[in-house]
Chains A and B, each alone.
Chain A
Amino acid sequence: MGDGPEARGNQWYGPQPDVAGASGYPDAPPRMGFFTDTSVCIGCKACEVACKEWNAVPEDGLELTGMSYDNTQTLGADTWRHVAFIEQSKPFGGQEPGVRHEDTDVFAAAARLGTDASSPGPGATAPPPGQAPEGAPAGQISPLSPDGRTELRWLMSSDVCKHCTHAACLDVCPTGALFRTEFGTVVVQSDICNGCGYCVPACPYGVIDQRKDDGRVWKCTLCYDRLGVGMEPACAKACPTDSIQFGPLDELRERAADRVARLHAAGVADARLYGEDPGDGVGGDGAFFLLLDEPEVYGLPPDPVVTTRDLPDMWRHAALAAVTLVGLAVGGFACRPRRAR
């Protein structure tokens, strides 16, 4: 065994720079993926709609959940993009918190626009980031408002299949229905899937799921059909703020590192990348994220590991247990009691 997985080019675990090549595509195009920059997501859900429309994903329940503006809830067989909404009592970068508008007559203010000093005209700018609004106690950026409410920051994030470098769903699929495309993405062939459901608990992100009325499993294909003819996936196309960026993974990683550095410089210390590290438990995600809080706040696992990492060890233990079982039976038949029967 020796250097095991290293020698095989990290096929089951660890960094794998040439995903498509390792899956048997000699002249694969560059690996494509998503970079979802949640700092510019406005929660419009255009991605959810575009995905459903393009891929003809059926409706899966209309519910009011009380989870902020999120009535979609989770990724699943019929939800391949999911916009999460998180309301937090925390200032966001250059946000101007603690401002109340109850006393303001907006129509009157509009009528006065540009005519007096208290209503700045077009072109006036907000106070610079981080500066306390008037009346704030010294040293405190965001004061409590008189009714005891605190400031709010609203995190929005469009979640999607991560198209892992080491995809557990693909590894455990017994039929070969799940496969790696030439773009390094992971896709289900619905005419092969026999609905065994093994990929569902194997996914460390809770992405793939079974469609109840049809028995097969479904998930994001990274619009394999569109990629084939040089188009970008529907969700990225529809995103009005470029929160969802599509492109070659190498390029996206550079862009993301740049964006994080800029946000840190602008005082958004919470900004961090999630899933971009090729050294992580799944060998890096083909769809990675810029988040503004811990991953679990968005419903993402903080340190996912592909279950296949431990599979060789599992087989070893099972083999040992099988031998033990034979030993038990041999013991049962061999050690006969003294007295003859």
Chain B
Amino acid sequence: MSGADAGRGGAGGGRPGREAPTGAYAGRRRRRRGRGERSMVPDASFSSYYGKPVLNKPTWKALDIAGYLYLGGLAGASSLLAAGGELTGRPRLAAPAKLGAAGAISLSLAALVHDLGRPTRFLNMLRVFKPTSPMSVGSWILVGYAPLTMAAAATEVAVRYRLLGSTAAEVASRYRLLGSAATLGAAALGPAVATYTAVLLSDTAVPSWHEGYRQLPFVFAGSAAAAASGLALAAAPTSQAGPARRTALLGAALELGAFQLMRRRMGIAAEPFDQGRPRILLRASEALTVTGAALALLSGRLRDRRVALAAGAALLTGSAALRFGVFHAGVASAEDPRYTVVPQRERLAAQGS
């Protein structure tokens, strides 16, 4: 670092040193931490302005937004399990799924509002409906979805613990009907809640988010299914958790498969997934998801609650690690001009200009 910084606290962090190379070939040298990592594409030389990023990096806080993506997925897929449990007569699978959906979506809404530069203006999200803005579409989906999960969870709790006082059986059954309707409504919107977040990330200029837009919704869908199944496995008795075990396997397979495909199709923009913090997070996510799926299978055979608990914990953590890994990889790709300039240069070269 240069010792000449004037010491203003105003503008952010690391500045290039005095020896910042000028003009051509000033791209930052690549930090290759991966031991024996294969290179996805040959090193391409490129020009940049003192190694400065072309893009402004996302201002979103990782905990809020990656957390929001994760909790949205967990809630959306939980609503599906809740509805499935309700319809197939597995009340002890449906109950934790309903509560999980309501809790997760409440937390995710809180994270979303917390991340706003002006949280008091959250309602401005509902001024307009804009199909060109995934955040606007998402806000409206949540406005429909969140109350349904709350209603489903509230009736569940009310009926279960007889909070309605000395109600007659007829009143209780009416509430149960209302709860079922809310559960099914939430299940109808749940898949949208779980997958729209992929569009939210992809609809930006951030290379590692945008280039994978075809596969990312499937990655998030699989990850959501795995997380929700994890929660259900941990909370439901093994006798009723059969569907959760199978959904966990299917979800893990979809997540891992779609992610592999995405990385292969993204070209150079896949590199940030293999470097630094995203690499650690994504490797951990992979390991946890595979372990979780295997334990889920095992818990079905052994009928052991402890195995099911471990499976659930592994699946939930794996899904969270995936969202944080993808989030951080995107930020890293925006911070390095290489991922903006090189693909665009290649595109121009392909067009023959």
Contact = CB atoms under 8 A, between A and B. Distances in A.
Interface of A: 12, 59-68, 70, 73-76, 84, 86-88, 168, 171-177, 192-198, 200-210, 214-217, 293-294, 296-304, 307-308, 310-311, 313-315, 317-326, 328-333, 335-337, 341
B338 to A, nearest CB: 10
B58 A200 contact: yes
Nearest to B57: A201
Given A201-B58, A201-B334, A317-B213, A172 B47 contact: no
B81 A206 contact: no
A336 B254 contact: no
Given A196-B135, A321-B221, A64 B192 contact: no
Given A194-B117, A329-B84, A324 B254 contact: yes
A331 B84 CA distance: 10
B130 A176 contact: yes
Contacts of B130: 171, 173-174, 176
Given A301-B344, A321-B221, A322-B192, A172 B247 contact: no
B271 interface: no
Contacts of B20: 65-67
Contact of A296 (B49, B242, B247): B49
B59 interface: yes
B220 A321 contact: yes
Nearest to A155: B23
Interface string B1-26: 01011101111000111111011100
A196 B125 contact: yes
B199 A314 contact: yes
B60 A197 contact: yes
Interface string B26-55: 000000000000000000001111101111
A174 B204 contact: no
Nearest to B93: A333
A60 B88 contact: no
A203 B205 contact: yes
B77 interface: yes
Given A172-B132, A175-B121, A201-B205, 14 more contacts: A87-B22, A203-B55, A215-B116, A215-B117, A298-B49, A301-B344, A303-B348, A314-B202, A317-B198, A317-B215, A328-B254, A329-B77, A330-B84, A336-B242
B242 A86 contact: no
Contacts of B87: 333
A62 B6 contact: yes
B132 to A, nearest CB: 4
Given A174-B133, A322-B194, A310 B205 contact: no
Q: Which of B49, B251, B344 has the most CB of A within 10 A?
A: B49
A319 B246 CA distance: 23
B99 to A, nearest CB: 18
A341 B242 CA distance: 10
B135 A174 contact: yes
Contacts of B139: 174
B235 to A, nearest CB: 16
A11 B17 CA distance: 44
Contact of B80 (A171, A301, A308, A325): A325
Contact of A326 (B10, B191, B198): B191
A245 to B, nearest CB: 23
A312 B17 CA distance: 43
Contacts of A303: 344-345, 347-348
A210 B117 contact: yes
A62 B48 CA distance: 23
Contact of B221 (A12, A196, A208, A322): A322
A200 B17 contact: no
Contacts of A307: 202-205, 210
B45 to A, nearest CB: 11
Contact of B218 (A70, A193, A293, A324): A324
In order of increasing CB-CB distance, the 3 nearest A-B pairs are: A195-B117, A215-B117, A299-B49
B340 to A, nearest CB: 6
A66 B4 contact: yes
A175 B205 CA distance: 20
B214 A172 contact: no
A208 B59 CA distance: 11
Contacts of B19: 66
Nearest to A177: B124
B217 A320 contact: yes
Contacts of B246: 331-332, 335
